[in-house]
Amino acid sequence: MDNNKVSNRKRIYAKEEVCIGCRLCEVHCVVAHSQYKNDIVKAYKKSPQRPLSRILVEETRPVSFGLQCRHCDDPKCVKACITGAMQQDPDTGIVTNDESRCIGCWTCILACPYGVIKRDFKGRKVASKCDFCIDLGGSPACVKNCPNEALYVDEVRVLNNEESKEKGGTAK
Amino acid sequence: MSYVIIGNSTAAVGAIEGIRKYDSSTPVTVVSDEPYHTYSRPLISYYLGGKVTKENMIYRPLDFYQRNNIRTMLGIKAMSVDYSNKTVLLENGEKLGYSKLLLATGGKPFIPPMGGLDKKNIFNFIKMDDVKAIEKVAVRGSKAVVIGASFSGLKAVEALVKRNVSVTVIDIMSRIMPRVLDDTAAAIAAKTLKDHDVKVLLNNTVETILGEDTAAGVLLKDGTKIDCDFIILAIGVRCNTDLVKDSGIKINRGIVVDEKMQTSIPDVYAAGDVAEGYNFIEEKMMEIAIIPNAYYQGETAGANMTGGNKTFNDGFIMNSMPLLDLPIISAGISEDREGIEVISKFEPEKDTYKKFYISDNRLVGYLLINEVDRAGIYTDMIRNQSDITALKTSLGAEGFGFINFPKDMRKEKMQKGGAA
Amino acid sequence: MSLDYSTSEFTINRDKDRCIDCQVCVRQCANEAHYYDDEEQKVCSDEHKCVNCHRCVTLCPTRALSIKKHELEFRANANWTENAIKDIYKQAATGGILLTGMGNDRPYPIYWDHMLLNASQVTNPSIDPLREPMELKTFLGRKPESLKVENGKLAEKLPPQLELEIPIMFSAMSFGSISLNACKSMAQTAYENGIMYNTGEGGLHRDLYKYGRNTIVQVASGRFGVHPGYLNAGAAIEIKIGQGAKPGIGGHLPGEKVEAEVSLTRMIPQGSDAISPAPHHDIYSIEDLRQLIFALKEATNYTKPISVKIAAVHNVAAICSGIARAGADIIAIDGYRGGTGAAPTRIRDNVGIPVELALAAVDTRLRDEGIRNQVSIVCGGSVRNSADIIKAIALGADAVYIASSALLTMGCHMCQKCYTGKCNWGIATQDPNLTKRLNPEIAVKRLTNLLHAWSHEMKEMLGGMGINAIESLRGNRHMLRGIGLSDRDLNILGIKAAGE
């Protein structure tokens, strides 16, 4: 084996002990993926087809937490995708769905172990999931706007996508 | 040193990506009898149905081969393999040498005996050329007979409905998609077909195809005659082992492979629909003809061809098969068996059905109709064979998710989440 | 059913152009003042339930909400104010005593705001805190009459002292009246910043024993949570005789707030009201207090200072003189502005005296009797900013206790509804849905910020006075001048009038 690529992969984690179930993460995710990224009011009132939130909040009081795509080291959705629309960036590890090529077969939903892919019925009927806010420079809107610091980004050093991993970067 | 891959579909692509992750220099040659850039076979029904253009049929970008330094020989059929000299004979007479060989020849249609198969306008439903031929005759108002109400046949039906073709589908079993759906689920699916004016004839087979030199109708076992303009055969698929049949390599129903995708012949691997690997839920060797499996097997074979030690031994059947507007997802065991506990939730007003198969407090199969969100969590339970005693009562509940897990089980899953 | 005279105290204004019906307010209001109307497909509000805690206002992503006083006006009446009238309606309806939370909100004079500080000018230059070291450190405990030094070392061991990096401590707030997350936040902040926090009468939760060296454990009249391990866990023990918010009566924790953890920590059954008796039933004279003080010293091997906390009431000077002679090492005086989780409104607003006056009186009295060194004095009962702290020290305090300030830091918005247990900020509640709103990681940062900010301001004010150590300010009445005070007030405070 001669490829010893090391990359820093980022992942968002939730702290259920301090998640207050307000769902502001969902609000900001919707805004971040709308055409009015800086205007919450317009994003909600003017968007002809308001985007789905890519973060999912699970709640059975008093427990709640947000969950979104883990951008896995071994992305089952990418390997299961029948059209090749689901792709992983080899450097950042971020998994995105090319909605222009997605046909809504839901094989990724079948494969995703976290169940974080949603069915988007507006328009073409495609699979919708977290893209780590790459359009906003990779600073996830949900993490930034959580009022109780219940979401955080952790960096993991990954060696060639394989087994040996060391936690590096800003591990909490 | 050079790697040769026979086949150009999912398993082959998995192998290419598996090889190139570890070895960017050794030459790789891909041989396929189809002349096309790698395309997604399941997309043929979406192409026929008008949802996907020809350009979007491709499974990887157009620069895929070039970027990965792959030499392609497309539209050229491989004829035989010489294991001792390690060469592949092509139809143009050329002999390709290999240090490692991957057989990824996929599946071929199964055609049961019936009269009149020599007529025109009788089509298979496997590859691009099939639908290219079908689209010429599948015009608005035409009549079609689809033989076989399994997944493949129903995808053909779906495409034809979108083309405003009048469709009759025939199957020998007592319900559609018999291997995956039970009676309750099949009834929901059948309702969808009925709503789209598809005629479904069960417990029946085609004796003879009628017509002069072009198919014009079918004669059924029970004497019924049905007129049509064309026929699609979608009865089943067999492993396409023609290339290496009788060559000495171990073949059962498919080319037998171990958990490293090695065949019985050294330096020869097999992956995808042609391979017979271990299904760890059924606990037996069998072909698992689904895309995720083909990709994983291909990737594993590719890695091992470069000298790696990857194993793939947790394959099992899983399918997402939307039928018109009805989502259907299933994985693992799909029929009632002795010793298997079944939990099911049926909500007829919502056309929602959920069924779970449990063995020894572990999930071994499930079926979801309509409410298919978060299905992957169940798939993962099957793959990990985790103890789900604490979850049994909430399986299939509305909003089921990690919130139903006991806290430590949930934390382990979510905190590790994503790390392989 | 007869007529309900109660009218809404507040109105909820929702800007329709800004509201996006995201329902965050619906989810966050523990009083259910907001709800989603499925038929109308929008968020609506029931202002009658609003307590003006600002939770929804703060969380609304589009700032679409604001809370205002309800505009209902009675005919102008300087005597029968709106509140006076409404109190009668309430008691006519319920037949019960009026309850309230936090501190006295009546417009009595605030003596802190009638005192001014000195600044150095020509003859005694000021000190620049950014260039010169400033000592905010202080030690609480009994100081000996004189020091004997032999061979450069102290000949006699000093009585036990509490070392504080800055002269501020978190005052007593019981686990039960406030959430465990709130206690944790203050404990950890005290630990990380070298100060103390006080357990209040709720006992010490097992998760907080690790902060023991920065903990003052309280022994109140109900003796909740008191056992040998508890007494030895902290750095000091405080006997609570009274508190400023409700002098003369004991603490009251309604049964609804006594859930599993509270029950375990207080050593009482779950769901039972935790009512502390008015007196300690083993202290009926000053001699009894002496006995308890020494019993505690014996139990802890004379290794920990014993503090006695009293409410500031009439004759507070004489009381403190007695307490000092009874063997206490620290006396904590809690003024009538002190906060609470629950108190009868009439007692909170009418009983006790301002801590400024009490402090001055006590410090003067102890000095006059020549026993000022026998105790450290800590004062609390609405210390609102760093200037209040400087003034308190100048009047004679060794350190101050802050509580309301700490709660505000953690998110409190002074709605005074602590006794309902529905604190939307996760502070005065045990409801797990609400307590998780207080994230200790965030709260510790904010509390630390407050301490840093105040320390810096204190250094600036000290420097301005030409003083570089807090010890030089203690009891230094010359640094204060009164403004707008009567002669009598000036006399009691022991300060001159501005201009003199």
N-term to C-term CA, chain B: 31
Q: What is the pLDDT along chain B (420 residues), one digit of tens a residue?
A: 899 999 999 999 999 999 999 999 999 999 999 999 999 999 999 999 999 999 999 999 999 999 999 999 999 999 999 999 999 999 999 999 999 999 999 999 999 888 889 999 999 999 999 999 999 999 999 999 999 999 999 999 999 999 999 999 999 999 999 999 999 999 999 999 999 999 999 999 999 999 999 999 999 999 999 999 999 999 999 999 999 998 999 999 999 999 999 999 999 999 999 999 999 999 999 999 999 999 999 999 999 999 999 999 999 999 999 999 899 999 999 999 999 999 999 999 999 999 999 999 999 999 999 999 999 999 999 999 999 999 999 999 988 999 999 999 999 888 876 665
Looking at the structure, do residues B364 and B408 belong to the same domain, yes or no? yes
CB B215 within 8 A of CB B230: yes
Residues C51, C55, C57: CA angle, nearest 5 degrees = 100
Cross-chain Cβ contact A27/C61 below 8 Å? yes
Whether the CB-CB separation of C418 and C101 falls below 8 Å is answered with yes
**A170 compared with C23, residue with greater pLDDT:** C23
Q: Is the pLDDT of residue C244 over 70?
A: yes
Instruction: Kindly determine whether residue A24 and residue C442, on different chains, have CB atoms separated by under 8 Å.
Output: no
Q: What is the pLDDT of residues A15-64, one digit of tens each?
A: 999 999 999 999 999 999 999 999 999 999 998 888 999 999 999 999 99
* Three-state secondary structure of A5-66: CEEEEEEEEECHHHCCCCCHHHHHHHHHCCCCCCCHHHHHHCCCCCCCCCCEEEEECCEEEE
CB atoms within 10 A of CB C303: 10
Q: Maximum CA pair distance of chain C? A: 87
**CATH at residue B191:** 3.50.50.60
A 29-88: CB under 8 A from B: 56, 58-60, 63-65, 67, 70-74, 76, 79-84
Report which DSSP code applies to A100. Answer: T
Q: Read off the tokens for B133.
A: 């031929």
Q: pTM, whole model, 2 decimals?
A: 0.91
Residues from chain B contacting residue A104 (CB–CB below 8 Å)? 322
Q: Are residues C123 and C67 in the same domain?
A: no
Q: What element of type H or E holds C25?
A: helix C24-28
Report which of C451, C472, C475, C476 is spatially closest to residue C463, judged by C-alpha positions: C472
Instruction: Please indicate, yes or no, whether residues B201 and B229 belong to a single structural domain of this protein.
Output: yes
Average pLDDT, chain C: 95
- Residue in B with minimal Cα distance to A124: B51
Residue C444 contacts A, CB cutoff 8 Å: no
Taking an 8 Å cut-off on Cβ atoms, the answer to whether B56 and A83 are in contact is yes
Answer whether B53 touches A (CB < 8 Å). no
Assess whether C171 and C56 both reside in one domain. no
Q: In this complex, is the C-beta atom of A159 within 8 Å of any C-beta atom belonging to chain B?
A: no
Interchain proximity A74–B420, CB inside 8 Å: yes
> Under 8 Å CB-to-CB from C368, ≥6 apart: which residues?
none
Specify whether the backbone of A115 is left (phi greater than 0), alpha (psi in -120 to 50) or beta: left
- Domain residues for the domain of C440 are 116-497
Residue C73: what pLDDT?
Answer: 87
Confirm or reject contact between C24 and chain A (CB < 8 A).
yes
Q: Is there a domain that residue B280 lies in? A: yes
* CB of B250 closer than 8 Å to CB of B258: no
Under a CB-based contact definition with an 8 Å cutoff, are residues C233 and C322 in contact? no
Looking at the fold, whether C51 and C166 belong to one and the same domain comes out as no
Work out the minimum CA distance from A57 to partner chain B, whole angstroms.
10
In a domain, C289, yes or no: yes
Any domain includes B419:
no
- B58 to A84: CB separation less than 8 angstroms, yes or no: yes
CA dist C445 and C441 (Å) reads: 7
Contacts of A24 in chain C (CB under 8 A): 22, 24, 59, 61
Task: Give contacts of A9 with chain B, Cβ < 8 Å.
Answer: 418
In a domain, B185, yes or no: yes
Give yes or no: residues C79 and C208 share one domain.
no
Q: Specify if C338 maps to a domain.
A: yes
Say if the Cβ atoms of A24 and C59 lie within 8 Å.
Answer: yes
Q: Determine contact: B376 vs chain A, CB below 8 A.
A: yes
Structural domain including B47 reads 3-106+240-305
Judge if B129 and B207 occupy the same domain. Answer: yes
Physical contact, B and C (3 or more Cβ pairs within 8 A): no
Query: What is the domain-level CATH number for residue C91?
Result: 3.30.70.20
Are C79 and C227 in a shared domain? Answer: no
3-state secondary structure of C370: coil
Same domain as B141, residue B46: no
A24–C62: do the CB atoms touch at under 8 Å?
Answer: no
Contact (CB<8Å) C27/A19: no
- Could you tell me the CA-to-CA distances from A30 to A27, A118, A141, B212, C406 in Å, in that order? 5, 13, 9, 61, 36
Please check whether residue C110 lies inside any domain of the structure: no
Same domain flag for B101 and B130: no
What is the per-residue pLDDT across C90-131, written as a single tens digit (0 to 9) for each?
999 999 999 999 999 999 999 999 999 999 888 888 899 889
Same domain, B275 and B358: no
A147 chain-C contacts, CB cut-off 8 A? 59
How many CA atoms within 13 Å lie on the side-chain side of B417? 25
Residue C304 and residue C296: Cα distance in Å, rounded?
Answer: 9
Q: What is the pLDDT of residues A88-137, one digit of tens each?
A: 998 889 999 999 999 999 999 999 999 999 999 887 789 999 999 998 88
Last-in-domain residue among B233, B263, B291: B233
On whether residue C108 sits in a domain, the answer given is: no
User: How does A54-93 read in b/e, with b if 16+ C-beta sit within 10 Å?
Assistant: bbbbbbeeebbbbbbbbbbbebbbbbbbbbbbbbbeeeeb
Long-range contacts of B403-408 (CB under 8 A, 24+ apart): B403/A58, B403/A59, B403/A60, B403/A63, B403/A64, B403/A65, B404/A60
The interface predicted TM-score of the complex, written ipTM, equals 0.93
How far is Cα C19 from Cα B351, in angstroms, rounded to an integer? 36
Tell me whether residue B348 is in a domain: yes
Q: What gap in Å lies between CA A123 and CA C284, rounded to an integer?
A: 80
Partner A, chain B 297-326, Cβ-Cβ below 8 Å: 299, 306-308, 318-320, 322
Instruction: Name the residue of chain B whose CA is nearest to A109's CA.
Output: B376
Domain CATH code at residue C312: 3.20.20.70
> Per the structure, how many domains does chain B have?
3
Using one digit for the tens of pLDDT, what is the confidence trace for C398-419?
999 999 999 999 999 999 999 9
In chain B, residues 200-229 whose CB comes closer than 8 Å to chain A:
none
| A21 in C contact zone (CB under 8 Å) | yes
Answer whether residue B76 is part of any domain. yes
Q: Are residues B262 and B171 in the same domain?
A: no
Residues of A in contact with B306 (CB under 8 A): 1
Specify the pLDDT at position C273: 87
- Residue C168, SS3 per DSSP: strand
Q: Are residues B21 and B93 in the same domain?
A: yes
Question: Do both C231 and C92 map to the same domain?
Answer: no
Could you tell me if C452 lies within 8 Å of chain A, comparing CB atoms? no
Nearest to A109 among B43, B320, B418 (CB): B320
Residue A132 contacts B, CB cutoff 8 Å: no
Which residue of A114, A121, A161 is the best one to mutate when testing the B interface, meaning the one whose CB has the most B CBs within 10 A?
A114
Nearest alpha carbon to residue A117 among A44, A53, A25: A53
Residue showing tokens 């604490």: B390
CATH of domain A6-164: 3.30.70.20
Query: Does a structural domain hold residue B310?
Result: no
- Within-domain flag for B112: no
Q: Give mean pLDDT, residues C3-7.
A: 86
Task: Tell me, yes or no, whether C325 and C467 share the same domain.
Answer: yes
pLDDT score for A164: 37
* Whether B343 and B194 share a structural domain: no
Tell me what pLDDT residue B417 has: 66
In a domain? residue B117: no
Q: Are strands B284-286 and B275-279 parallel, antiparallel or unpaired?
A: antiparallel
Q: How many domains does chain C have?
A: 2
User: What is the rounded distance in angstroms from the CA atom of residue C440 to the CA atom of residue A142?
Assistant: 20
Whole-angstrom CA distances from C297 to B195, C111, C242 are 87, 36, 21
Give the nearest partner residue to A41 out of C20, C24, C441, using CB atoms: C20
State whether C89 and C161 are in the same domain.
Answer: no
A32: which chain C residues are within 8 Å (Cβ-Cβ)? none
Which residue from A112, A141, A168, A109 is spatially nearest to A28, judged by alpha carbons? A141
Say yes or no: A25 contacts chain C, CB-CB below 8 A: no
Please name which of A54, A107, C233 lies closest in space to residue B292, comparing C-alpha atoms: A107
Q: What pLDDT, on a 0 to 100 scale, did the predictor assign at position A169?
A: 28
C310 and C392 fall within a common domain: yes
Domain membership of residue C401 (yes or no) is: yes
Same-domain pairing of C277 and C323: yes
